[in-house]
């Protein structure tokens, strides 16, 4: 049941909408403060929250419609996002709290990849 690419996309979409999106829109200082990050000019952080919620909606639509190309392409792009966050930490640009976001991004990508692999094996009878 949990090895379902659509479910992984729905879960990640909900995370983007509810946690990253609405969290950054409505309580940016609280959300970022939990990870040792600063909201700075919170107008920009709220804009990032709005963009995260839109991306989350794309994930939900992809899951609902079974958009396999989108689902497949989400994997390397999420690995890229996680890698970039790790780079920002290693370079000293962002504090250790960013690694939680990177881990969430990477875990979601791995879940989707494993689910797609399992679905492909099931469809070929292996």
Q: What is the pTM for the complete model shown? A: 0.87
* pLDDT recorded at residue 86: 98
* pLDDT recorded at residue 123: 81
Instruction: Give the range of the structural domain holding residue 76, as residue numbers without chain letter.
Output: 5-123
Crossing angle of helices 5-14 and 42-65, rounded to 10°? 160
Total domains in the chain come to: 1
pLDDT tens for the 126 residues of the chain, in order = 567 999 999 999 999 999 999 999 999 999 888 878 887 888 999 999 999 999 999 999 999 999 999 999 999 999 999 999 999 999 999 889 899 999 999 999 999 999 999 998 888 876
């Amino acid at each position: 049941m949990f090895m379902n690419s659509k479910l992984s996309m729905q879960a990640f979409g909900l995370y983007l909408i509810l946690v990253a999106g609405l969290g950054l829109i409505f309580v940016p200082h609280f959300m970022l403060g939990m990870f040792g990050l600063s909201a700075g000019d919170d107008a920009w952080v709220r804009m990032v929250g709005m963009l995260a919620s839109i991306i989350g909606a794309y994930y939900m639509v992809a899951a609902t419609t079974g958009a396999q190309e989108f689902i497949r392409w989400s994997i390397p792009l999420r690995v890229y996002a996680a890698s970039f966050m790790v780079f920002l930490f290693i370079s000293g640009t962002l504090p250790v709290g960013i690694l939680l976001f990177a881990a969430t991004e990477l875990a979601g990508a791995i879940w989707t990849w494993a689910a797609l692999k399992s679905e492909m094996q099931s469809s070929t009878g292996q």
